[in-house]
Chains A and B, each alone.
Chain A
Amino acid sequence: MIRLKGLRKVYGRQTVLDGIDLDIAKGEIVVVIGPSGTGKSTLLRCINFLEKPTAGEITVGDLTVDACSTSRKDILALRRRTAFVFQNYALFANKNALDNIAERLIVVDKWPKEKAREKAREILQRIGLGDKAEAYPASLSGGQQQRVGIGRAMATGAEVILFDEPTSSLDPEWVEEVLGLMKQLASEHQTMVVVTHEMSFARDVADRVIFVDGGRIVEQGPPSELFSNPQDPRTRDFLRKVLPDQTV
């Protein structure tokens, strides 16, 4: 379970997150949508303290962290309960696919190397890259890299995986394989928060869609409701732009 209470993030004079309250149940798939520059990435990055929130409270599982009084230990503990999938994959360039996945188990969880690689091999099979264990990121296609990125997140055993536009850097030909893997994860009831512009993914997979604008949650609901019957004019306006084939 994840709970955000009054999450705020201010850069200089610009308020990027303006008090976000959010509860996410175990196994829930939440898709976050909204116009560019409204703080979607910042929201995800604050949840695992890649960005330090200015104020607010973050609960992941049995750990609650207050932005105003955090210790190094809290931040580490929080990061170890969350996993992140980056838009630009961000695989470790000096490690092959297998070790990208095993790294967390070896370094953070202190598993013996062989056991960690065993588990990593299992994950590579699940993400359909069993034959790419030795391949370095530079030799993988964008789609393969992002699948390894997702595999690395899976290995953490985190309570929640945060996806920041996981398909936005991909050539169109690779988008489906990555979305396919995410759907597979969703069907296994992995808790996920996904920022994406892939509205079909939101419609098919999300339990809940959250529309963010100006650093606030404007509106949220199951995709069927939010897409067919948006209440707020800003939501309507946004959906009209991203769902051109549909009258909202």
Chain B
Amino acid sequence: MNVLDFDYMLGLIPVLLKYLPLTLEMAAAGMVLALILACLLAVIRVLKVPVLNRFTMLFISFFRGTPLLVQLFLFYYGLPQLVSSLTAINGITATIMGLTMHFSAYMAESIRAAIVGVDRSQTEAALSIGMTNAQLMRRIILPQATRIAVPTLMNYFIDMIKATSLAFTLGVTELMGATQKEAAGSFLYFEAFIIVAIIYWVIVEMLSWLQRYLEHRLNKAYSR
């Protein structure tokens, strides 16, 4: 077995870190959009809004039931074929779209569970003081459901960061794409990929730390 080229590995770190912002930006954009969409889907499911509920169930079933990679290819290569104005959809845009749809489907289900998990007495109390359904949702149910859902949603965010690496298959030079290019140039595959693995790992560890901190804070909330 050859000895690893540590100098190359160390030198690679700053080179790859330049691509980290794009990775994080795609994950952040995907997360924000997915959260908004997931809340919408969850509320439709909880209120069983006619027609929309059916459509939502289909949406969730499809985006949970198919691989993310297939969805990304559908958006990147498939959409332009259908909608000619999208002749060249940007790889970054396609990735963010894919992440949004894919993860919103999962997140909608956990938000729905969290909403349903809020004690029934909270609803009755809110109605008894004359709140409308919308006020009840916004002021009582969603804040309490958030507290239940945050740990799970953080897990999805972590998954999403790792999933951004698929963007390289759409020709986006993000963290994974950059590593791929570096490795192909130097032929030092193991060195390159172990370094990128460690970068992902450190980011995820930092987020896990944030997650534990948030959970701790959330558990303390409401009991001061």
Contact = CB atoms under 8 A, between A and B. Distances in A.
A109 B116 CA distance: 28
A154 to B, nearest CB: 11
B192 to A, nearest CB: 48
Interface residues of B, number: 22
Given A90-B122, A92-B122, A79 B128 contact: yes
Most buried by B among A83, A91, A108: A108
Given A92-B140, A108-B130, A136 B224 contact: yes
Interface stretch (B13-21, B59-67, B131-139, B176-184): B131-139
B126 interface: yes
Interface in A79-116: 79-80, 82-84, 86, 88, 90-94, 96, 103-104, 107-108
Given A50-B124, A90-B121, A136-B222, A79 B139 contact: no
A103 B222 contact: no
Given A94-B143, A137-B222, A50 B126 contact: no
Contacts of A92: 122, 125-126, 140
A88 B124 CA distance: 11
Interface residues of A, number: 28
B84 interface: no
A134 interface: yes
A135 B221 CA distance: 11
Contact of B224 (A84, A134, A152): A134
B125 A90 contact: yes
B223 A136 contact: yes
A138 interface: yes
A91 B125 contact: yes
A246 interface: no
A139 B222 CA distance: 8
A90 B147 CA distance: 18
B130 A104 contact: yes
B128 A138 contact: no
Nearest to B133: A72
A243 interface: no
Contacts of A137: 222
B13 to A, nearest CB: 44
Given A86-B125, A108-B129, A139 B143 contact: no
A139 B223 contact: yes
Contact of A50 (B122, B127, B144, B222): B127
A156 interface: yes
A76 interface: yes
Interface string B204-224: 000000000000000001111
Given A94-B144, A139-B223, A103 B124 contact: no
Contacts of B139: 103, 107
A76 B132 contact: yes
A191 interface: no
Interface in A107-140: 107-108, 134-139
Nearest to A155: B129
Top 5 closest A-B pairs, CB basis? A80-B130, A84-B128, A90-B121, A90-B125, A104-B129
20 contacts: A50-B124, A79-B128, A79-B129, A82-B128, A83-B129, A84-B124, A86-B128, A90-B121, A92-B122, A92-B140, A93-B144, A93-B222, A94-B221, A104-B129, A104-B130, A136-B221, A136-B224, A137-B222, A138-B222, A152-B129
Given A79-B128, A136-B222, 4 more contacts: A50-B128, A76-B130, A82-B128, A104-B130
